[in-house]
């Protein structure tokens, strides 16, 4: 059953990936390679499959056919230990999904202690440093309900970093935030990108894309329609669909 992977692969490699929800073809023949340390921004209209695309990478969604290789491991291969692979992939949710019964620090240390088996004292030291890094040194003992949306999302990013992942995936990380909180989250994401993290970010924040992304991928109706550098994509979109999309998000 184990099929060898042909050729060299990127950190994340989609090869002819298809996915259906019932009869709806939500991912159509996706081929995409993300190199180590690369930052790729995925954008497109709602329902275009961008969230589904990144949720496939850590197996929150499964694919019907095609190959998806992450960190050298084929997800479809029964020998691939998904639980293990997920420890290498941080995932930041639109709605944060912090553990409400745990403090900020406990949110950050829970998986390192129980999944990575890092000694508690060491995990807590690292957790405090990470919370300081995202600007929340004074919120270590706060519960999520006591934090603003922007603060919660920064804790969520610290929670991912606590696992020392090779890849970070962001699923519309600023879409649920009040406008004045967006930049504090984007600043943290820029810092993570500048440290050389491999990232895929579903977002419409063009400022972020221009600043750190090497590539923008535009999706529509489950397919990748266009991909290029942020400059190419935002200044000279090649397809009618991407022009129509950009005119809508730029107008406001």
Partner 1 sequence: MLENFSLRTIVEYLPLFGQGLVTTVWLSVLSFAGALAVGIVLAAMNLQRGWLFRVPAKAYIDAVRATPLLAQLYFLYFGLPRLGIILPELVVGILALSLNSGAYVAEIIRAGILSIPRGQVEAGVASGMTYVQRMRLVILPQAFKVTIPPLLGQAIVLVKDSALLSLIAVAELTRAGQLLASDRFMPAEGFITIAAFYLLLYYGLKGLAALSGRWLGLAGART
Find the shortest distance in angstroms from Cβ 236 to partner 1. 36
**DSSP per-residue letters across the chain:** --PPPPS---SEEEEEEEEEETTEEEEEEEEEEE-TT-EEEEE-STTSSHHHHHHHHTTSS--SEEEEEETTEETT-TTS-HHHHHTTEEEE-TT----TTS-HHHHHHHHHHHTS---HHHHHHHHHHHHHHTT-GGGTT--GGGS-HHHHHHHHHHHHHTT--SEEEEESTTTTS-HHHHHHHHHHHHHHHHTT-EEEEE---HHHHHHH-SEEEEEETTEEEEEE-HHHHHHS--SHHHHHHHHHHHH-
163 part of the interface to partner 1, by CB under 8 A: yes
- C-alpha dihedral (90, 73, 203, 30), degrees to nearest 10: -160
Site string for partner 1, 48-67 (x = CB under 8 A): ----------xxx-------
174 part of the interface to partner 1, by CB under 8 A: no
The one segment of 1-9, 65-73, 107-115, 179-187 that binds partner 1 by CB under 8 A: 107-115
Find the shortest distance in angstroms from Cβ 248 to partner 1. 28
97 part of the interface to partner 1, by CB under 8 A: yes
Give the integer Cα–Cα distance in Å for 92 and 13. Answer: 20
Q: Name which of 176 and 221 has its Cβ closer to partner 1.
A: 176
Site string for partner 1, 112-151 (x = CB under 8 A): --xx---------------------------xxxx-----
Q: Name which of 106 and 226 has its Cβ closer to partner 1.
A: 106
- C-alpha dihedral (8, 14, 16, 21), degrees to nearest 10: 160
The one segment of 20-28, 84-92, 183-191, 196-204 that binds partner 1 by CB under 8 A: 84-92
90 part of the interface to partner 1, by CB under 8 A: yes
Contacting residue, 3, 46, 83, 117, with partner 1 by CB under 8 A: 83
Contacting residue, 86, 139, 204, 241, with partner 1 by CB under 8 A: 86
Q: Name which of 57 and 225 has its Cβ closer to partner 1.
A: 57
110 part of the interface to partner 1, by CB under 8 A: yes
> Strand 12-21 and strand 24-34: pairing?
antiparallel
Find the shortest distance in angstroms from Cβ 156 to partner 1. 8
The residues of the shown chain that bind partner 1, judged by CB under 8 A, are 58-60, 83-84, 86-87, 89-91, 93, 95, 97-101, 110-111, 114-115, 143-146, 159-160, 163
């Amino acid at each position: 059953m184990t099929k060898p992977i042909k050729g060299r692969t990127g950190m994340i490699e989609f090869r002819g990936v298809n996915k259906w929800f019932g009869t709806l073809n939500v991912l159509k023949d996706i081929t995409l390679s993300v190199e180590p340390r690369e930052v790729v921004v995925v954008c497109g209209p709602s329902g275009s499959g961008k969230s589904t695309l990144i949720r496939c990478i850590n197996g929150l969604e499964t694919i019907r056919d095609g190959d998806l290789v992450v960190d050298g491991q084929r997800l479809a291969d029964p020998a691939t230990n998904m639980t293990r692979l997920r420890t290498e992939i941080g995932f930041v949710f639109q709605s944060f999904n912090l553990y409400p019964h745990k403090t900020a620090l406990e949110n950050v240390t829970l998986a390192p202690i129980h999944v990575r088996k890092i000694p508690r004292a060491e995990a807590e030291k690292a957790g405090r440093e990470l919370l300081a890094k995202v600007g929340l040194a004074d919120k270590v003992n706060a519960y999520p309900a006591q934090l603003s949306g922007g603060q919660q999302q920064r804790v969520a990013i610290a929670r991912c970093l606590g696992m020392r992942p090779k890849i970070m995936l962001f699923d519309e990380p600023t879409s649920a935030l009040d406008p004045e909180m967006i930049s504090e989250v984007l600043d943290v994401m820029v810092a993570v990108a500048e440290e050389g993290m491999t990232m895929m970010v579903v977002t419409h924040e063009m400022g972020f894309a221009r600043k750190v992304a090497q590539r923008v991928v535009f999706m529509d109706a489950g397919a990748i329609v266009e991909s290029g550098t942020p400059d190419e994509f935002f200044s000279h979109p090649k397809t009618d669909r991407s022009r129509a999309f950009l005119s809508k998000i730029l107008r406001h």
